[in-house]
Structure 1
Amino acid sequence: MQFKQLELKSEGSWLKRTLGSAHFKRTLIAIGVGALVGFTFYYFTEGRLMKSIPGTEILKSMAVGGFFGLFMTNSPCARGRC
């Protein structure tokens, strides 16, 4: 009997594999788009100048939008596990 030689490759560190994955990049893009949508929604619904809008309100809206972007890419249904 002949057996083939099994070749094992090093996968690298967990951090390097995670940062290089397509899913991680797609998640970052979705968070950025969600934050941008949250900011634009807040800006157009408030109807105030940028000088009169408090920075904390802008950050809250961007955080909510970023969370929605994160949820949209990492929910079980988005990954085909419904």
Structure 2
Amino acid sequence: MDTKQKIEVKKLEIESEEKGFKGWIKSKQVRKTLIATVIGAIGGFLYFYFTDGRTMDAIPPGDIFQNVIFGAFLGFFVTNSPCARNKC
């Protein structure tokens, strides 16, 4: 009675990842985050322009900066929230 079983082993193929700043920039998540942050910043500027900016003769740069930063934060949050990464 020979009860030996043959075990098959598959070779694990591991692709080398680029490390450092270049590899970090080329990652899909970072590109998606940067694009969403820029779109959010543009959205913040457009929100300011169409709500408050049209009625002002002189626009204080602090107000514009605040809306642009808020829009950029929303773009960043949308792509990096736990729900965006399917970890809800």
TM-score range, shorter chain: 0.7 to 0.9
Q: Larger Rg: 1 or 2?
A: 2
Q: Which residue identity lines up with residue 78 of structure 1 in the other structure?
A: A
Q: CA RMSD in A?
A: 2.3
Q: Decide which structure has greater helix share.
A: 1
**Distance across 1 between alignment mates of 2:36 and 2:26:** 16
Mind listing any 5+ residue stretches in structure 2 that lack a counterpart? 1-8
**Identity, % of aligned pairs?**
42
Query: What's the CA shift string for 1:22-63, capped at 9, x where partnerless?
Result: 1111100100110011001111111335x6111121111100
- Matched with 1:54 is 60
Flag as ranges the 4+ runs of structure 1 deviating above 3 A: 3-12
Q: Is 1:15 aligned to residue 25 of structure 2?
A: no
How many residues are paired up? 79
Mind listing any 5+ residue stretches in structure 1 that lack a counterpart? none
